[in-house]
Amino acid sequence: MAPPDADRARALREQLRAADHAYYVLDRPLLSDAEYDRLMRELVELEEAHPELRTADSPTQRVGGAPSERFGRVVHREPMLSLGNVQTDGELDELDARVHRLLGLPAEEPVRWVVEPKLDGLAVELVYQDGAFVQGSTRGDGVNGEDVTPNLRTVGRLGANRGVPERLAGAPGAPGGRVEVRGEVLLQKKHFEAMNQILLRQGEEPFANPRNAAAGSLRQLDWRVTATRPLSFIAYEALAVGPEPWKHHWQKLADLAAWGFETNEENKLCLGMGEVKAYRDRMAEHRFELPYDTDGVVVKVDDLDLRRRLGAASKFPRWAAAFKYPPQEEATRVKAIWASVGRTGILTPVVELEPVRLSGATVTRATLHNEDEMRRKDVLVGDWVLVRRAGEVIPEVVKPLPERRTGEERRFEFPGACPVCGARVVREEGEKVWRCTGSACPAQLVGKLRHFAQRRAMDVDGLGEKLCAQLVERGLVHEFADLYAIPLQTWAELERMGEKSAANIVAGLTRSKQTTLRRFLYGLGIPQVGEATAAALAGHFGDAERFLAAAEEDLAAVRDIGEETAREIRAWTAEPQNQRAVRRLLEAGVMPAPEEVSARGFFAGKTVVLTGTLARRSRDEAKAEIERRGGKVSGTVSRKTHLVVAGEEAGSKLAKARELGVRVADEEEFDRLLAEG
Ligand code: IVH
């Protein structure tokens, strides 16, 4: 049986993974940076104290966002590294001293540094072949990016800036062959605000900040949506295959501009750390006047030969670093506090603020997380508070300013009943949160439907928050299964719907019936059952009926499931109303298929194409190996292919893979991936 630490570590992993996914894939952050850091620290500490709890796929073990499966994969020829942070003058001096040491430069001879504002957008790579733009991708996890070529072609077309040129100008300057240009896709502040206004008018949710808006706009499945967003591109790096034509980074920046890219006019060549620090201080003042968000300055060694000699550690180059600004804070007034009710019935105190400009956006709301946090921070209605956007993302109340109190302020009392359905609210012993006990609470139901329909669960495209709220308000849905019974005409008559969107939803619902048990169990929103637990349950029980019938001991026998989780799951499945909800879904034609194979590892859920002659195994053997690990083997290469395994004399499929930027593995790498999975 797993000890409580194991349960906690798993819960943390799931929370952090969900937060990563929300941030990197959905571009809708779930947690504030401070909260994220707190959870991450807790997990790191737990793993340090109990190394046996550290899993290979723990969020502590990796950087950046995994590329989304929605896009084709692009393997970056050279990894897109991230930057190490320096926080103090001392650390800048250390960087300078290290470079001196490595170069054998006398201390009084200054290093040439290029300093650039750290742009708060989304890093992308553009590939030019003989001067023509052929492929563009996001950074992804640094090694595998997402293919967003058609989307990138639209960047700059609305005139926000020079964008992504189709062809490099000034052919003599542009080397033949392949050039990779790296830089940041971003939204200028004024465009961000205009765009959010439009989204609000259309009844859609506005983006939290320009970074998320840029990422969300670029990472659209339909490039025509991207084309309506006024994105900019600023170039900061060029890489050529073979001998590079540049000796200095500063020269590269000049060439990038000559080819037709926008480079940052704030970039500066500095002689020695003294000039770097002066630039940083000036920029710290001046950065809010820039048309786009920045979150620091990047310091880079100018001499490229020296860069090569300095090399890179596993995640960061040794020749560059980022100096990050502390988050900006502003004072504003709390107009109201209320409790918002989520999917699991948890009441979260939310403060409504006088609108305040903060790091380039207008903030009107912040969460206080839970009652204790609200009491700890001692925030009253009417208070002046200091707010910040941690990581310039989610608004947070830092602290109230009691010296500005007038005596008119009021405490917010947590409601004794659910503000939405009126049911009793309880705070169980040892719990930090109040929960609504209403079994038919509309707010909970809306949250549940949303969770059920999300991409990682039943994957019903278009069934968002607003639509779910309408279904509940109109009494069309009381249980998941009701979704499948709504006639097309009824869908079409809902607000902001039409024949076409209605048809799409119905088609999406029909498609969702062919699902996997793992997705199905996750979508039910059972307490403690995140994606990993759902996968473990699905692998163990194989079908929904067996899962429903499982006793607490049977549940506790599942790999990675502890006693407490088992108890909570059983409490859920024992509820006749939950049993009924599941049965009705099965009756409605939902067919959760078992995945007999592993739901973990590299091949799980991936599509692989085999081509050429493999030396160590037959095609059929290779296919069986992949399928046993949860992968699918297909005969044709498309953007949806995750991997092409190329044996000897691979032909057109290999060429196609290269053309589409699909990852290619030789047999040796295939062996390695099989061993991993
Ligand atoms: S250079 C290894 N230059 O910072 C070199 N990066 O933490 C890294 N970024 O993913 C790239 N402005 O999104 C570079 N002027 C700039 C940058 C910049 C923003 C971002 C970029 C990258 C992240 C690295």
Which string of DSSP letters, residue by residue, matches 81-131? Answer: ----EE-SHHHHHHHHHHHHHHHT--TTSPPEEEEEEEE-SEEEEEEEETT
Centre of ligand 1 from the C-alpha of residue 266, in Å: 15
Residue 417 amino acid letter: A
| Residue keyed to tokens 């937060």 | 19
Q: Which comes out higher in pLDDT, residue 388 or 234?
A: 234
pLDDT tens readout for residues 369-421 = 788 888 888 999 999 999 987 544 568 888 899 999 999 999 999 899 999 99
Distance 292 CA to ligand 1 centre (A): 15
529 lines ligand 1 (CB under 6 A): no
> What whole-number percentage of the chain has pLDDT above 90?
51
**pLDDT score of 472:** 96
Could you tell me if the CB of 293 is within 6 A of ligand 1? no
Range 458-497 burial, b when 16+ CB lie within 10 A, else e: bebeebeebbbbbbbeeeebebbbbbbebeeeebbebeeb
Q: What is the pLDDT, as a whole number, of residue 328?
A: 74
Report whether pLDDT(173) > 50: no
Is the distance from CB of 365 to CB of 353 less than 8 angstroms?
yes
Residue 186 pLDDT exceeds 80: yes
Which residue among 236, 256, 307 has the greatest number of ligand 1 atoms within 8 angstroms of its CB, and so is best to mutate? Answer: 236
- The verdict on the CB of residue 323 being under 6 Å from ligand 1 is no
More confidently predicted of 5 and 126: 126
pLDDT band at 172 (very low <50, low <70, confident <90, very high): very low
Atom 18 in ligand 1: residue holding the nearest Cα: 118
pLDDT at 450: 93
Q: Let me know how long the chain is.
A: 677
pLDDT digits (tens, 9 = 90+) for 134-165: 999 999 989 999 999 999 999 998 889 999 99
The answer, yes or no, to whether any atom of ligand 1 lies below 6 A from the CB of 114, is no
> What's residue 531's pLDDT?
77
Q: Which of 108-112, 128-132, 311-315 has the lowest mean pLDDT?
A: 311-315
Nearest CA to ligand 1 atom 24: 82
517 contacts 543 by C-beta, under 8 angstroms: yes
- Lowest-confidence region among 70-84, 325-339, 383-397, 456-470: 383-397
Q: Does ligand 1 come within 6 angstroms of the Cβ of 320?
A: yes
Q: What is the CA radius of gyration of the chain?
A: 27
Distance of CA 554 to the CA centre of its chain: 35
Task: Tell me the C-alpha distance between 64 and 76, whole Å.
Answer: 15
Overall average pLDDT of the 450-459 stretch: 91
Per-residue pLDDT, 301? 96
Query: For 565-624, how does the pLDDT look when each residue is reduced to its tens digit (9 = 90+)?
Result: 999 999 999 999 999 999 999 999 999 998 655 556 788 888 999 998 888 777 777 887
Q: Which residue has the higher pLDDT, 50 or 503?
A: 503
Predicted confidence at residue 391, as pLDDT, reads 44
What's the Cα-to-Cα distance from 112 to each of 99, 100, 107, 109, 298, rounded to whole Å? 10, 11, 13, 10, 14
Q: Which residues carry out catalysis?
A: 118
291 alpha carbon – ligand 1 mean position (Å): 18
Closest-CA residue to 283 (of 314, 244, 254, 322): 322
- What is the number of other CB atoms lying within 10 angstroms of the CB of residue 135? 20
Mean pLDDT of the chain: 88
Of all atoms in ligand 1, which is nearest to the CA of residue 120?
19
Ligand 1 closest atom vs CA 83:
7
638-656, pLDDT tens digit by residue? 888 899 999 888 888 888 8
Taking the centre of ligand 1 as the mean of its atom positions, its distance from the CA of residue 154, in whole angstroms, is: 22
Closest ligand 1 atom to residue 316 Cα is 2
Q: What is the pTM of this model?
A: 0.52
Q: Kindly tell me if the per-residue pLDDT of 210 is higher than 50.
A: yes
Give me the pLDDT at residue 122, please: 95
Q: What is the DSSP string of 368-395?
A: --SHHHHHHHT--BT-EEEEEEETTTEE
Of 361 and 194, the one with more pLDDT: 194
**Does residue 342 contact residue 448 with C-beta atoms inside 8 Å?**
no
The β-bridge partners of 167 are 132
Residue 45 is inside which H or E element, if any?
A: helix 33-49
Query: Cα separation of 272 and 563, whole Å?
Result: 60
Q: What is the pLDDT of residue 600?
A: 67
Position 648 scores a pLDDT of 83
